[in-house]
Amino acid sequence: MIVAVDTGGTKTLVTLFSRDGVAGKIIKFPTPSNQTDYLDLLKKTLQENYGGQRIEAIVVAMPGIVKDGVAIWCNNLKWKNFDIAIALSGVLGKAPVFVDNDASLAGLAETRSREPVSPSVLYVTISTGIGTGIITNGVIDPGLRLSEGGRMLVEYKGSVREWESFASGKAIYENFNSYAKDIHDKKTWNDIADRISRGFLAAIPLLQPEVIIIGGSIGTYFDQYSKQLKEILTKHLPPHIPCPKILSARHPEQAVIYGCYYYAIDALSDK
């Protein structure tokens, strides 16, 4: 059995997978802003729900830069140098603890769940912030695993800004005073499509992915802006660089959990 933990900027999801990829009940709780409080609540959740079971691995997704298993920096939570693998060691017997970036794990799941597996995928989660995962030949690209696409510096309304500062779910709410589920007019969605396009216009010529997959809470409303987004990208990309296929995530808000499963399967098979 494999335990998956999706630590988000606002909420944390925890579930148990069988070896063949069947997920159990998903446990959800608000992510505490304090590292110690988060760790105490997570340990309690794991022990109360999975203690005594034969757990082969625990995979924890973190919303930020993860290097050698340590969350170096999680922007929306303001956590830094959080060695959660060490902190969780022994919480469920001898189960090893693996840690990686949430968007990379989500991209892993969305890539591997499709046949045939695309050789190059850019996964973008647009939620509290913007996270990116670059998947090459079905695995998280080792040379680009520290990429933070949401922090790309792009021009918007006459100034150079971080992409997520004006295109994330949080930024959309602050600008329009509405959550995506409450936005229904075409003009607003055209504006959102323009905001999202700015990061893609910078990333596509550099990475030239075959497929772009959009997930997260804004990914849930893909049909509201996908046509406009494709039109903007096709219009502005250089003629020799084709617009990639743009898809909605199959599990926009649960892709990270499934990515934890795929990650564990690969890690355990390497042992």
Q: pLDDT by residue (tens digit) across 138-172?
A: 999 998 988 889 999 999 999 999 999 999 989 99
Long-range contacts of 219-222 (CB under 8 A, 24+ apart): 219/125, 219/126, 219/248, 219/249, 219/252, 219/253, 220/180, 220/252, 220/253, 221/180, 221/181, 221/183, 222/248, 222/249, 222/252
Q: Which of 19, 9, 51, 50 is nearest to 261 (CA)?
A: 19
Q: pLDDT by residue (tens digit) across 210-259?
A: 999 998 888 889 999 999 999 999 999 999 999 999 999 888 778 899 99
Name the pLDDT band for 271 (thresholds 50, 70, 90). low
Predicted pLDDT of residue 230: 95
**What average pLDDT does range 45-57 have in this prediction?**
88
pTM of the predicted model as reported, rounded to 2 decimal places: 0.87
Does the bond joining 116 to the residue before it have cis omega, within 30 degrees of 0? yes
Please state, rounded to an integer, the average pLDDT across all residues of the chain.
90
Among 3.40.980.10, 3.60.20.10, 3.40.50.10470, 3.30.420.40, name the CATH number for the domain at 2-101+253-269. 3.30.420.40
- Write out the E strands in the chain: 2-7, 11-17, 27-30, 57-62, 65-67, 70-74, 79-82, 97-101, 120-126, 130-136, 139-140, 153-156, 159-162, 211-215, 245-248
For residues 191, 197, 202 and 208, what is the CA-based torsion angle, rounded to 10 degrees?
A: 180
C-alpha 156/C-alpha 256 separation (Å) is 29
User: Domain coordinates of the chain in residue numbers?
Assistant: 2-101+253-269, 114-248
Predicted pLDDT of residue 64: 82
CATH topology of domain 114-248: Nucleotidyltransferase; domain 5 (3.30.420)
Domains 2-101+253-269 and 114-248 agree in fold: yes
Q: pLDDT by residue (tens digit) across 72-91?
A: 888 778 888 989 889 888 88
